[in-house]
Structure 1
Amino acid sequence: MRGDPVADQQTTAAAAVPSARGTQRKPPRGRLTASDILRKISQVLGELLITAGIVLLLFVGWELWWTNVEADAKQTEAVKSFAQEFAGPVTPAVSQATDYGPPVVGTAPAHGKTIGIMYIPRFGPDYTRPIIEGTDQDVLDTLGLGHYGNTSMPGALGNFAVAGHRQTHGAVLDNIHTLVPGDKIYVQTPDGYYTYVFRNNQIVLPSQTDVLMPVPTQPGVTPRESILTMTSCNPRFGSQERIIAYSVLEGWQPSSAGPPSEIATQVAQAQGKG
């Protein structure tokens, strides 16, 4: 039996009209939506941030660790070379109260050459650092304490000034802030041993270069003392300021007299006799 023609027509018409759901078609495969693009961008940015973090950590590790390792090796070599070339008695001087007359003052060597060795007991029994002529990066980043070429030499009237890093490249002045008035600082040159006594420190801006004057911070004044000035960055992990440590010459003794008793062991070790 044939069906109702009218019903058949209605059924056919209904099938031809798309449903409301049918109008929300899914995007063709292979085409990205805005949310897919944002998700991928977030993933890429996340990976880049992680990579940048790893690179930053490696750089910090290189700065705070590896530069110290490299610099320590070069400084140790410079100390041994100097100590062996200018080998003198390692037995302490019989009497450190002996008057040896005015200090002998040497001539500054060429840039990058060794002036002598600095010993600072406050910084530990193994603190032995070379003093090198010049304050350019090739000196400070590898060889330790650099001598400002426009300042005096050890023992001379005026200002014998040196610079050094605080946290990297050997960290030669990392503990400069721990110095206490009365602490001894010893400088050894081919001519002898110069004993300085720490007096005070000062925090200044990097632009305040008058700390290097013959009488620090006093332009035009004639020096009447032999001063040792040490400069480094401040704070310890920054460079916004400079910390300046001042010491005054207390006495000296020629190399032939032997070293001061407080550093005799270190002098012997530097010469390979300890």
Structure 2
Amino acid sequence: MTATATHVRPRRPQRRSAGTVAVGVVGELLITAGVLLGLFVVWQLWWTDVVAMREHQQVLASLDWEAPPVPAPAEEAPAPVERRDPPPVDPQPAFGEVFAQLYVPRFGSDYVVPVAGGVDRRQILDRLGVGHYPGTAMPGDLGNFAVAGHRTSFGRPFHQIADLVEGDPVVVRTATTWYVYRVTSHEIVMPWQVEVVSPIPGLKPGDPVPPLTQRLMTMTACHPMFSARQRYVVHAELDFWMPVSDGVPAVLTDAGVDVVGAEGNG
């Protein structure tokens, strides 16, 4: 008796339903979007810092400024005189002109950033560091020397602005002069509250300006972190000034800030 061969028909592959295909496509798009979002976050939070900090260093290194004298040991020379008479004041800078350096011991002994004319985001804040509000006072002048900087990304020069406390020194150096301010207060305001950078903070635009008697400084940055919904504002007042040729302010040397090294290395 012979066995009869059984012919087995191959099974046809199941066709995927339109819904299954759609879910797969959406899933792949979500994965792609997640990868792109991750790359954007890396670019925004890390790579922009790398590029901006490198540019800040190059700008500082390119400044053809006289280096201050190397501080002598305390037992060999007296500390430089802290002057409180009216200081010299430079003219308003051109847009994009780097006219000052900013040192904040609270932000670290290696902290130094350029200060340039203007507060345009792309051309100044994203590239050059800290921007000076046009028309506000210059360092040491009567009125309000007002500046802006990023808290996150692009070098984040004001990342630690909320850590400043009353009495902290904020030091501005121009080509010839040190200006040492002391923090007096801080506040959080809305973006349209531009009176924080008025010659007298709080003075509304259009209000008459009384005779100026204080030499103030205002630092502004976006608030909260990773948002531009509000502004974090720190106010300070000039404590003293001194010529660069006299040496380095004790508030920097006491904090371990290597001013000569910072300038030489950018």
**TM-score of the superposition, structure 1-length normalised?**
0.83
Q: What's 1:13 paired with?
A: none
SS at match of 2:203: coil
Q: Deviations over 1:158-185 (max 9, x none)?
A: 0000000001100100100000101001
Q: Which position in structure 1 is the counterpart of 2:260?
A: 268
Provide, for residues 200-232 of structure 1, a one-character-per-residue CA deviation record: whole Å limited to 9, x for no partner: 111000111111110011243432111110000
- Where does 1:1-274 land on structure 2 (aligned, <5 Å)? 36-82=17-63, 84-91=64-71, 94-99=78-83, 101-136=85-120, 137-219=122-204, 220-222=208-210, 223-264=212-253, 265-272=257-264
Paired with 1:98 and 1:88, the residues of 2 have a C-alpha distance of 15
Name which one, 1 or 2, has greater alpha-carbon Rg: 1
Q: Letter of the aligned partner of 1:175 in structure 2?
A: Q
**Number of residue equivalences:** 243
Matches of 1:139 and 1:90, distance apart in 2: 32
Computed over aligned residues only, the root mean square deviation of the Cα atoms, in angstroms, reads 2.1
Which is richer in helix? 1
C-alpha distance in 2 between matches for 1:31 and 1:44: 18
Partners of 1:103 and 1:156 within 8 A in 2? yes
Give SS of 1:201's match: strand
- Matched residue SS, 2:109: coil
Stretches (4+) displaced over 4 A:
29-32
Deviates more, 1:221-230 or 1:53-62: 221-230
Q: Is the 8 A contact 2:188 2:232 kept in 1?
A: yes
Contact 1:104 1:191 in 2 (8 A): no
Contact in 2 for aligned 1:160/1:229 (Cα 8 Å): yes
Letter in 1 for 2:164: L
Amino acid at match of 2:237: V
Determine the C-alpha separation between the residues in 2 that align with 1:133 and 1:255. 21
Amino acid at match of 2:20: R
Distance 1:184 1:100, change over 3 A: closer
Q: Which amino acid aligns with 1:44?
A: V
Aligned counterparts of 1:90 and 1:121: Cα–Cα separation in 2: 19
Is contact 2:82–2:241 with CA below 8 Å preserved after alignment? no
CA distance, structure 2, for counterparts of residue 221 and residue 69 of structure 1:
42
Bigger mean CA offset, 102-111 vs 244-253: 102-111
Structure 2 residue matching 1:272: 3-state secondary structure: helix
Opposite residue 151 of structure 2, the aligned amino acid is R
Distance in 1 separating the partners of 2:86 and 2:176: 12
Percent of aligned positions that are identical = 40
Q: Is the 8 A contact 2:110 2:262 kept in 1?
A: no
Q: Which structure 2 segments of 5+ residues have no match?
A: 1-11
Question: Retained in 2: the 8 A contact 1:196–1:249?
Answer: yes
